[in-house]
Amino acid sequence: MSFFKKLFFLLVALNTAFLGYDYYQGGNIAFNLVENAKQLNGNKLQGYLAEIKSITPEKVAGHVNNAFAQLKNINSASDILSLIREKTAPAGGSTIEWDGNVVVLTDNNFKSVIDGSKPALVEFYAPWCGHCKNLAPVYAQLGDAFSSSKDKVLVAKLDADQHRDTGALFGVQGFPTLKWFPKGVHSPEGVEDYKGGRDLNSLAAFIKEKSGVAPRIKSQKSDVVSLTAKNFHEVALNPNKNVLVEFYASWCGHCKNLAPVWEKIGSTFANEENCIVAKIDADQEREIGTEFDISGFPTIKFFPAGESEPIAYEGGRTEAAFVEFLNKHCGTQRKVGGGLEAIAGRIAKLDELAIRFIKNANEREKIHSEAVEAAKEIGTRYGTYYAKIMEKMLANGENFLETERARLAKIAGSDDVSSAKLDDFSIRQNILGAFDKKASPVKN
């Protein structure tokens, strides 16, 4: 085999390896190359030929110098891929961007991406829309479920509040709006409105039905307690627990829309021993539905600890509304999105002593003794933590506060910290906040 043949096959192998690595990393070099090839026509080819004819030795030298200048900053395969992506991006400002495994559409790239070559589900959303924010994590999981089939079907989204021309073209009047673009369709004619549930299983089943592509859904851990007729009374009527129950039906569209929010609430309150988030299929477990007068779905009832009658929940069905309701009725201090409020775990009496301790350097030993006695009366480990901080400061000076803050922040930032431990570190960080001359004691 001649030298040039060997060189040719070596270049083919390298190109194949790079394209395969790029696809494995979630890139789109191959897709962009195809898109650029589609845009070639007679006029463009003639232009390229004319440009080739005009090449001089000086121009060749200039291109070589430019190439070497770009290679100076290349240290890995990822650097090379980034350069190739830049050079193979579709023309006209229509670069394809990905958010995880969801295609990010714009007015510029919509026609080049949603071109009818493959079917696509498109979410038209607005960043400020509460329902869109609730759907966002589910939609990201949907993209992941079809990530291995990007050559067959696309999961895409468009900020239709920013890119209004495309939103108007497809008649988007509210957010989020989901539309299905069958293969061969790239204009408003033939586009279908998606009207199913907004949970992962419903969305994935819809795409599978329409495209024939099977999703790969990773099992998700749920912090929502599933109830049946056998365990309902034991859980919901536990005299020591506060329980928020969703009575749902598997076929109910509103229940499917609520499902991702309900999962978030379950996760937010998973570490609260006295506050349980639960659900029961009251269409299947009809004796429970009848006992608690369930006439529509979803119906939400709160079962207070020690009470015989539940309270009908009549608030909003947003994450924020449920968090506010449960904080009020369970005495918790949870934040929307998970985690604890900045005052969680703090104790009014010990807050006052902590502020006095910082303000009165000459009385610190006396105040520390008061804190030790107060902590004994309160009888909690977080009460003891106040006194421990004072003891450490007496021994090591005020620099201990910064050292402790840094230590807790480092541990909390570790990837292997459990959510229960993260709550513990958050409360300790909150207590450290009371050791400030400008702090105000909480109201317990």
Catalytic residue set? 129, 132, 252, 255
To the nearest 10 degrees (0 to 180), the angle between helices 319-330 and 253-268 is 50
What is the distance between the alpha carbons of residues 120 and 114, in angstroms, rounded to a whole number?
7
What is the distance between the alpha carbons of residues 112 and 124, in angstroms, rounded to a whole number?
17
Q: Please give the structure tokens belonging to residue 92.
A: 């006209």
Omega within 30 of 0 (cis) for the link into 176: yes
What is the distance between the alpha carbons of residues 422 and 430, in angstroms, rounded to a whole number?
12
Omega within 30 of 0 (cis) for the link into 298: yes
Is residue 293 classed exposed, middle or buried when 0-12, 13-18 and 19+ CB atoms within 10 A define those classes?
exposed
What is the distance between the alpha carbons of residues 369 and 391, in angstroms, rounded to a whole number?
9
Residue 417: partners with Cβ closer than 8 Å, 6 or more residues away: 411, 425
Long-range contacts of 427-430 (CB under 8 A, 24+ apart): 427/340, 427/344, 427/345, 427/346, 427/382, 428/345, 428/382, 428/385, 428/404, 429/405, 430/340, 430/342, 430/343, 430/344, 430/345, 430/346
CB 135, CB 154: distance < 8 Å: no
Matching residue, tokens 């402790």: 404
CB 319, CB 404: distance < 8 Å: no
| Strands, sheet with 120-125, edge to edge from the N-terminal-most edge strand | 97-99, 102-105, 154-159, 120-125, 177-181, 192-193
What is the distance between the alpha carbons of residues 227 and 15, in angstroms, rounded to a whole number?
55
Is residue 208 classed exposed, middle or buried when 0-12, 13-18 and 19+ CB atoms within 10 A define those classes?
middle
What is the distance between the alpha carbons of residues 327 and 274, in angstroms, rounded to a whole number?
11
